[in-house]
Amino acid sequence: MDLKLSDRVAVVTGASKGIGLAVTRTLLLEGAKVVAASRKSTMELDELAGENLVHVAVDLMNPEAPEQVVAQAVESFGGLDILVNNAGGPPPGIALPRTSFLDASDADWHAMFEFNLFAVVRAIRAAIPRLLERGGGSIINISSGNGRQPSPINVDYGAAKAGINNLTKVLTEEYGPQGIRVNTISPGGVRTAWWTEEGGAADIIAARAGADRDAVLDTLAPQMMNMVTGKLVDPQEIADVVALLASPRSASTTGADFVVDGGFLKSL
C-alpha cells in the first residue's frame, strides 16, 4: 500500500536507536525526507545515510534544541510535514525502574518532565507554524501505557506521559480545523536500549529478582507487566503505526491513542 509519504519532510526525535531508529528507517523507505535528532549518532543510524537523511546532534534537555531541529528541516528540505516526538524515557543520568513514589526527588521529577513533556511542548511549538505553512500535517507523540495505567513504578514518568495525552487532545481541538492531526501511540514494554543497555532496566530487575538479564528480557519483564503476548514489543511494530498516522491515508484520524503494548492495558 502506498502511504503517500514520498518527499514529505519529517522530524524524528530520539532517532539514533530503538523506536526512533525504526521510525526513521521506515519513513525513509516510504520515500520521506527525515531530520533525525539525537544527542549523538549510532552505527545503525549512520547506515541509513543518504540525501534524504540529515542528523542533528542536540540534547533535548536544552530548551533551544527543538527549535534548532525544526529550523534544520526547513533549511535542508524546505519545510515540515510530520513531527514524531519519540525521545523520552529516562533522562540522561537517571536509571529506571523505580519502585515507589518516594524514590524520586524534586530533581528527578524536574528532569523527567523536562525530557518527556517540556521538550515535546517546545518541539510542537516550533513545528506548528511550519506545518501551517504547508497546509497542515501530522504530529505523532509517543506516549506510554504508563500514561493511562497508574502505578507506583516510575510514577514521574507516567505523570509526564499523562501530560502528553492531555496535550494531544488539546492540540487536536485547536489545530484540527487548520489541518494538523495530532495522535499518540502508547507502547507497553518495548525491547529498546532502555531495557537492553548495560545498567538498563533488564540489569536492574535482574539484580533485584536474582535472575539473569536474558530471562528478564524474554520472560520476567513481560510477566511483570502482565503482557498477554508474553513478549516485549518490537520497535518496528511502533514504527509501522507511526508511518500510518503520518500518512494522508489517515486524514480523518486525530486525537486518537493507538495502543501497541502486547496487552498491557486492561481498561476499556
The span from the CA of 238 to the CA of 222, in Å, is 17
Q: Strands 180-187, 257-260: parallel, antiparallel or unpaired by DSSP?
A: parallel
The span from the CA of 140 to the CA of 12, in Å, is 10
CB contact at 8 A, 21 and 47 = no
Q: 202-213 burial string, b = 16+ CB within 10 Å, else e?
A: bbbbbeeeeeeb
103 burial (CB, 10 Å; 0-12 / 13-18 / 19+) is middle
Catalytic residue list: 157
**All 3 cell numbers of residue 35?**
531530520
**Using the 8-state DSSP alphabet, how is residue 77 labeled?**
H
Spatial strand order of the sheet with 53-57 comes to 53-57, 33-38, 9-13, 82-85, 137-142, 180-187, 257-260
What single string gives the DSSP state of each residue in 132-145?
A: HHTT-EEEEEE--G
